[in-house]
Structure 1
Amino acid sequence: MIWSLQAAPDLTDKQFAQWSKLLEDRAGICLSDQQRVFLQTQVTMRMRELGQTDYSQYYNRVVDGVSGMIEWAVLIDRLVVKETSFFRHRPSIDFVRGYLQNQINNKTLKGSFDIWSVGCSSGEEPYTLSMVLNDCFSLAQLDPYYGVIATDISRAALGIARSGVYPQRKVEMLEPHVRQRYFKQLENGRYQIDPELKQRVCFNHANVLNINEMPGIDQNVIFCQNLLIYFRRWLRHEIMNAFVDHLKPGGVLVVGLGEVVDWSHPDMVRAPVDDVQAYIRKAAV
């Protein structure tokens, strides 16, 4: 019988540990034993595409030189791409909206308003943030002076994000005025992000574990949700500490509610809100 029609062989404990270590070393992602089936399924699907039948042989292929890095880039897309949506977790989005509105109202906004969307996946989050920023500047009758940097480890997800084209199911849940203002329906029923909005978002391939791949300019907001939960506790804290160094004084770090516990930093204070986990960098003395 052809192997591709057979049930996938089970990963041994040794093989699972080997693959898990590779994923953690290269991407920081820590798999629990409950995620063994997920890992096995994704690796097996890729092996079938290549006509390989042995986990260990495929592992050796992935870690072998330049060709291995190319294969790793393909595999990591299967392992990290997550389903997301526009305006996911509205309290956090509204917190950013209020933060910018307060700066505009109090005339404390200096220069460009910059946001970094970390782990942006297929682009819904950074485009959402761009919509919110654009709304704030329009409401205040100000020229939109802002930019969004969006990074992700998955090149496939970034390809979708850069195209700015989404299926109807992604857009139909948006409020009609948002859909009308920021999307154009294409002939195939899909929706295209407004070109002017799209120009405000810069997508880059980056691994959050590599400090040299972080943005070179300080940010007003760092928005990182549904990413840190995949890392070990100590690594979450290290990444959060690195984020602080990339915030402007008074800047805000927004993470997923409950993703990070018992973290503190001498330059940061927790925002006094219950439904959002955000931290504000203290102003320079």
Structure 2
Amino acid sequence: MQSGVWALQQLVDMSATEFRDWQQLLEERTGVVLNEQRRAFLQTNLTARMRELGVSDYASYYRQVTDGPRGAVEWSTLLDRLTVQETRFFRHRPSFEVLERYLAERLQQGLSKPWEMWSVGCSSGEEPYSMAISAAEVLRDSDRPECFGVTGTDISLNALSKARDGQYGARRLEQMDADLCQRYFLVQADGRFKVLPSLAARVCCARLNVLELAKAPMSGMDVIFCQNLLIYFRRWRRREILNRLAERLAPGGLLVVGVGEIAGWQHPELIPVADERVLAFTRKG
């Protein structure tokens, strides 16, 4: 069959068994849970990739994805299709207000070492760059304006590539003040905005699966952001991830979580931040 004709063929609906197999594979490898409401999302993304490869049924593609080293390469490609990458700069403004207030208080106590910050599930980079801008603003009039670093981690290689490129359409910057856009971005010929090299130099992006946090090299972090990530996991897994992140905080460090992503979670070393607009904690000490 010619590929052009094949591309127009309608794939049959996924069976309940096939959907369950794909659900289990995704949760087993990434922790992400796809419920019945997300079945159409899964099917659309699988069929798009299957058409590119000329694979006609879900079972054959499942075998291809799970077949040794070759399958690992295809899995990495597919994962980029299945991970949500829709985000913006300063997506939840109150979280960044809490961050800036926290950093301003830290600055008053004196800078003994550079601030180390971590964006968990950084997607295409908007969050770590937003964190970097907040830190740069707090330190702007100090004698050490570049005394910070931000690490962004994500499972998607495609998203990380975009983060490292640091170029964004105007829509991603809609929630930013105009003066910040001028200060930290260069307008490109195509109308896109590129992160200023001096700011980009303070941000590093690396691949990390949150199921493997135990192996992550980050420790003694001053700030950790984990927003819009936990919603994709089971409740017990959310608590496990947050417990791991709490261990990676330095004494006095700040953990910011997406509002509504976890209920009733407590950690003996963490104190809730008194701001009802956010879900944030500081570590004792």
Give the partner amino acid of 2:90.
F
SS of the aligned residue for 1:203 comes to strand
Matched-pair contact (CA < 8 Å) for 2:121–2:153: yes
Q: Which residue of 2 aligns with 1:116?
A: 118
SS of the aligned residue for 1:25 comes to helix
Gaps of 5+ in 2: none
SS of the aligned residue for 1:210 comes to helix
TM superposition shift of 1:154: 0.5
SS of the aligned residue for 2:140 comes to helix
* Residues 141-150 or 63-72, more deviating: 141-150
- TM-score, reference length from structure 1: 0.95
Q: Which residue of 2 aligns with 1:258?
A: 260
Quick one: distance in 2 between partners of 1:199 and 1:251?
A: 23
Matched residue count: 282
Pairing of 1:68-87 with structure 2 (within 5 A)? 68-87=71-90
Whether 2:79 is the aligned partner of 1:95: answer: no
TM superposition shift of 1:172: 5.1
Q: Which residue of 1 aligns with 2:24?
A: 21
SS of the aligned residue for 1:253 comes to strand
State, as a whole percentage, how many aligned pairs show the same letter: 46
Deviations 1:180-238 (A, max 9, x none): 11111111222111000000001001101102442333201110000001000000000
Pairing of 1:176-255 with structure 2 (within 5 A)? 176-255=178-257
Quick one: distance in 2 between partners of 1:139 and 1:20?
A: 51
Give me the CA root mean square deviation. Answer: 1.4
Matched-pair contact (CA < 8 Å) for 1:77–1:156: yes
Deviations 1:86-132 (A, max 9, x none): 0100000111110000111233x431111100000000110010001
Q: Which residue of 2 aligns with 1:47?
A: 50
Quick one: distance in 2 between partners of 1:97 and 1:13?
A: 48
Matched-pair contact (CA < 8 Å) for 1:218–1:247: yes
Q: Which runs of 4+ in 1 moved over 6 A?
A: none
Gaps of 5+ in 1: none
- TM-score, reference length from structure 2: 0.95
* Residues 259-268 or 56-65, more deviating: 259-268
Give the partner amino acid of 1:194.
L
